[in-house]
Every structure is written in structure tokens, then in C-alpha cells.
Amino acid sequence: MFTNDQRQQERTGQYGTSRQQYLQELVNQFQNTSDEETKEKIAANLANFAYDPYNYSFLRQLNVLELFLDCITEPNEKLMEFGIGGICNSCVDPANAAIITQCGGIPLVIKCLSSPVRNTVNYALGALYYLCNKSNREEILKPEVIDVIERYAAAQTVNASFSNLAKAFLDKHLTAADLVDSAICALVYMERVMQHANLQSTAKLVAKGDIMALV
């Protein structure tokens, strides 16, 4: 259940810790500890708070959205999972989504699509669903990204959650023309990769002086 000022007052009482103060304490603890397990617990806690619209303004004021993005850059898979989870929970709000985009969050979210952790992939698909709009669709709807999402959409028997989220994304953000353009771009890209590979092979043969192989 979402919180409001009245419910928060009833829960904390007159002298209780305010939500903003509590979140500030969590952020301070995260920044001041070097213990990975402690960071994981705090990041998970903050990601849960990111689900409630009551906390959105606090998250922006305390730079928690930037903290989530920093977590995604960590080699720790748990921190990455909780970071993208916080992004997914909060980016349904346009103001939060704008900050995430302005802070270079889209490439980080896309990176999470290739994670071996299922929750991380689910959160990334959900985040892209809400982040994608007219101002950034070219950055998100790249052929290689669409290809990955289409693969998830086709994986119904392997993972229904991936498939459903991916299909929802494609249904909302891609037109038939986009799909055709994506397929053409993918073919052109593959052709260039093959041409590059052939050039490398030819260069090696020339370096070896294997003239017969070039005839």
C-alpha cells in the first residue's frame, strides 16, 4: 500500500523519524561503508522505497536515483540487481525518468539486458518500457537492442516473465515500420561484420605472402 502524509504521521508519531530523514540515513550509511553485504542490504532497502510515489521527491532530493545508477556500474551482481530494481520502480514517474535519462542511465539499463541474473533482466525490460519516449527512442531502439528484446519476446517457453515484458515493450514502442527498419539495419550490420572479417583474413594472407590464396 502506498504512503501519504497522514499514514506516515500515524506510523511515526510526533517524535518519530521522518521518511526523508530515514532515507538520508540510509544514503549516508551506503556512502560510508566499504562492506559489500551492507551495501547490498541498503541498496535493496532503497529500491523497495522507490516503489512508493510518496518517496519520489525524497529520492530526487537525496540523489538516490544517481546512487542506483552507480550500483549498476559495480561488478557486484547483487548491487547491479538492486540498482536496476530501484530504477525500474522509480522511472514510472516522468520526473524520475528525466533525471535517469539526463544522467546517462539509458546505456546502463540496456547493459543490464545481458545480465545472467534473471531479476536484473526483468527490471531492465520494465525500466526501458517506461523510459522510452520521443526524445530518447533513437538511443533505445537501436537494432542490436531490438534484436535482444525480440529474442526475449520469443522465449515464452523458457521464461514467461521475460517474454511478457519484452512483448509489452515491443507492442508499445515499435511500429511495423520500425521492425522492418530494424531488420534491414541488422542485415547491413551483419554484412559489414562479415566484410570486416574477410578483410582481416585477406590482410593475414598478404602478410604471409600466400599469393595463391588470394587468386
Which residues form the domain of 29? 5-140
Average pLDDT over residues 83-87: 98
Residues in the chain: 215
Give the per-residue pLDDT at 195: 55
Question: What integer pLDDT is reported at residue 2 of this predicted model?
Answer: 47
In a domain, 179, yes or no: no
135: CB partners within 8 A, 6+ apart: 101
Tell me what pLDDT residue 143 has: 93
pLDDT of amino acid 208: 56
Q: Has residue 132 been placed in a domain?
A: yes
What pLDDT is recorded for position 188? 43
For residue 21, give the CATH number of its domain: 1.25.10.10
In a domain, 63, yes or no: yes
The pLDDT confidence band at residue 153, using thresholds 50, 70 and 90, is: very high
Cβ pair 173, 141 in contact under 8 A = yes
- Which pLDDT value is given to residue 215? 39
Q: Does 20 or 179 have the greater pLDDT score?
A: 20
Share of the chain above pLDDT 70, in %: 73
pLDDT, tens digit, 9 for 90 and up, residues 186-205? 454 455 545 555 555 545 54
Q: How many Cβ atoms sit within 10 Å of the Cβ of residue 127?
A: 27
Of 88, 168, 73, the residue nearest 121 (C-alpha)? 88
Q: Report pLDDT for 146.
A: 94
Q: Is the pLDDT of residue 185 over 80?
A: no
Helix 143-153 and helix 118-131, axial crossing angle in degrees, nearest 10: 120
Tens of pLDDT, residue by residue over 20-47, are 999 999 999 999 999 999 999 999 999 9
CA distance 54 to 128: 22
- 158 inside domain: no
Domain total of the chain: 1
Domain assignment of residue 160, yes or no: no
Q: Report the 10 Å Cβ neighbour count for 161.
A: 15
Place of cell 535517469: 100
For residue 4, pLDDT beyond 60: no
Would you state the pLDDT for residue 178? 56
What percent of the chain is predicted at pLDDT more than 90?
A: 68
Question: Does residue 27 fall inside a structural domain?
Answer: yes
Q: How confident is the model at residue 176 (pLDDT cuts 50, 70, 90)?
A: low
In a domain, 159, yes or no: no
Does the pLDDT of residue 105 top 80, yes or no? yes
Dihedral-angle region of residue 104 (phi above 0 means left; psi in -120 to 50 means alpha; beta otherwise):
left
Cα(118)–Cα(97) distance, integer angstroms: 23
Question: From the DSSP assignment, how many helices (H) and strands (E) are in the chain?
Answer: 14, 0
Is 118 part of any domain?
yes
